[in-house]
Amino acid sequence: MTLPMAVDVIVPCYNTERYLGEALESILMQVPAPTEVIVVDDGSEDASPAVVERFRGSVRLLRQPHRGAGAARNLGVAQSRGDVVAFLDADDVWTEGSLACRLHVLTADPRCDAVHGLTEQFISAELPAAIRERLVCPAGESAGQVPGAMVVRRRAVERIGGFDESLQLAEVVDWFARARSSGIAFRMLDRVVLRRRIHDRNSGFSNRQRRSEYVHVLKAALDRRRGRTAPAEPNDNL
Amino acid sequence: MNLVLRVNAPAVVGEVIDGEAVIMDLATGHYYSAEGVGASIWSAIDAGVSRATLSGWLGERYPAESGALAGALDAFVAELCAHALVIEVPGDEASLDAPPLALPAGRFVAPVLNSYTDMEELLQLDPVHDVDEAGWPVARAPDPPAA
């Protein structure tokens, strides 16, 4: 089976040595395999770069000082050349056939800009019982929009602009809100394509300043809708 | 002890930005907005005041429309409570002389809570449950041992 178009996968990574290998294996087992896999190491202090070395020849490693997941995704997109871009966080995994089913829909509909699948969440199996008991893992499948469950045409990414690098937690919500304002055509598949790992180092919704990011992103979306600002505010980080 | 109005944290977070209160409920993925008097009321609730204090401030600011104030305030607070954005609980009231965001000048305009559900999918997969300062998803403290 061959790819209908060039597809690059961007994997932002920060101190994820425990899970990065599993994430990369889940990408490389896809049939057909993506054109290129790019890990953007966001200034990890652990052995994440060494994990990438194990995949030398199959995975390209980019490195940057620690600037956040949004900046890492932006660097990966800027350094990639595929017609289609996909993302996978370094602690998550794709399901079997994840890429092919999304590409199938994208290829069949030239007007479609991006295809999403469903996400299910799981508690990382290696964690001690005492930690597992404290974790909250929402049950069931979710149609929530996250980068790891999406494939998107490069032309759409360029229209939307990059992830806002000033945001540390809400950059994904902001990006999808801008995508909607830009009139991006999404399709949602009724199939799980992403398994999202719950562990003891997930990004935390943990302090008031970060929670405030979400509110500001929603305010910006409201203002765009009411014409108080430009229709979308693509940033030029790509 | 007095009844005071509290933001239903941690799932609910609100802030006044450019004179508009924007309120988010991560438990549902819904969000809300209020301008004018509604934004001032939200700023006061966020600071931890009672319904009686709010009523007093409105009466001082809009004496000519005193007949409409109580009903409008009750309706607005009831709507905030119905959406589980705010709860009314026994507690100590914040000591404030006025709402953090001043009530608008001019005639009284009854506060309106606008609600939006279009971001549900975007907020759905974000950390929402039982968060505390330790961060999500390390969220739920072990139950205390039985006595």
Three-state secondary structure string covering B71-95: HHHHHHHHHHHHCCCEEEEECCCCC
DSSP B138: B
pLDDT at B122: 78
pLDDT at A238: 64
pLDDT by position in tens, chain A (length 238) = 678 889 999 999 999 999 999 999 999 999 999 999 999 999 999 999 999 999 999 999 999 999 999 999 999 999 999 999 999 999 999 999 999 999 999 999 999 999 999 999 998 888 888 877 777 777 888 888 899 999 999 999 999 999 999 988 889 989 999 998 899 999 999 999 999 998 876 655 455 566 788 899 999 999 998 886 654 444 556 6
Facing residue for B135 by CB, picked from A145, A176, A204: A204
Quick check: A137 and B15 CB within 8 A? Answer: no
Chain B residues near residue A144 by CB distance under 8 angstroms? 121-126
CA distance A54 to chain B (A): 30
Quick check: B125 and A119 CB within 8 A? Answer: yes
Mean predicted lDDT score pLDDT of chain B: 84
Please name the residue of chain B whose CA is at the shortest distance from the CA of residue A134.
Answer: B140
Chain B residues near residue A204 by CB distance under 8 angstroms? 127, 131, 134-136, 138
The strand order across the sheet containing B30-35 reads B12-17, B20-25, B30-35, B114-116
CA distance A14 to chain B (A): 17
Cβ partners under 8 Å of residue A139, min gap 6 = none
How large is the ipTM?
0.84
Cβ neighbourhood burial of A131 (10 Å; 0-12, 13-18, 19+): middle
Over residues B109-122, the mean pLDDT reads 91
Amino acid making up residue A158? E
CA distance A138 to chain B (A): 9
Count CB atoms within 10 A of the CB of residue A130: 8
Over residues B125-143, the mean pLDDT reads 41
Count CB atoms within 10 A of the CB of residue B6: 16
**Cα-Cα-Cα-Cα dihedral sign, residues A128, A66, B137, B48:** positive
Three-state secondary structure string covering chain A: CCCCCCEEEEEEECCCHHHHHHHHHHHHCCCCCCCEEEEEECCCCCCHHHHHHCCECCEEEEECCCCCHHHHHHHHHHHCCCCEEEECCCCCEECCCHHHHHHHHHHHCCCCCEEEEEEEEEECCCCCHHHHCCECCCCCEECCCCHHHEEEEHHHHHHHCCCCCCCCCCHHHHHHHHHHHCCCCEEEEEEEEEEEEECCCCCCCCCHHHHHHHHHHHHHHHHHHCCCCCCCCCCCCC
**C-alpha closest to that of A148 among A76, A86, A78, A80:** A86
Cβ partners under 8 Å of residue A149, min gap 6 = A116, A117, A118, A119, A193, A194
Do A54 and A85 touch, CB atoms closer than 8 A?
no
pLDDT at A217: 92
Please name the residue of chain B whose CA is at the shortest distance from the CA of residue A207.
Answer: B133
Please name the residue of chain A whose CA is at the shortest distance from the CA of residue B140.
Answer: A134
C-alpha A159, offset from chain centre: 17
Chain A to chain B Cβ contacts (< 8 Å): 106
CA distance B116 to chain A (A): 10
pLDDT at B135: 37
Select the more confidently predicted residue: B132 or A134. Answer: A134
Over residues B94-108, the mean pLDDT reads 92
Residue B133 confidence class, pLDDT cut points 50, 70, 90: very low
Facing residue for B139 by CB, picked from A134, A144, A145: A134
Query: Which among A205, A212, A224 is the top mutation candidate for probing chain B, defined by the most B β-carbons within 10 Å of its own β-carbon?
Result: A205
CA distance A174 to chain B (A): 9
Please name the residue of chain B whose CA is at the shortest distance from the CA of residue A171.
Answer: B122
Count CB atoms within 10 A of the CB of residue B33: 21
Select the more confidently predicted residue: B35 or B28. Answer: B35
pLDDT at B140: 39
Quick check: A136 and B130 CB within 8 A? Answer: yes
Residue B28 has pLDDT above 50, yes or no: yes
Query: Which among B31, B125, B128, B140 is the top mutation candidate for probing chain A, defined by the most A β-carbons within 10 Å of its own β-carbon?
Result: B125
Residue B143 confidence class, pLDDT cut points 50, 70, 90: very low
pLDDT at B124: 66
Quick check: B121 and A144 CB within 8 A? Answer: yes
Q: What is the pLDDT of residues B33-61, one digit of tens each?
A: 999 999 999 999 999 999 999 999 999 99
Report how far residue B21's alpha carbon sits from residue B8's, in angstroms, rounded to the nearest whole number: 15
**C-alpha closest to that of B23 among B91, B103, B99, B116:** B116
Do A126 and A145 touch, CB atoms closer than 8 A?
no
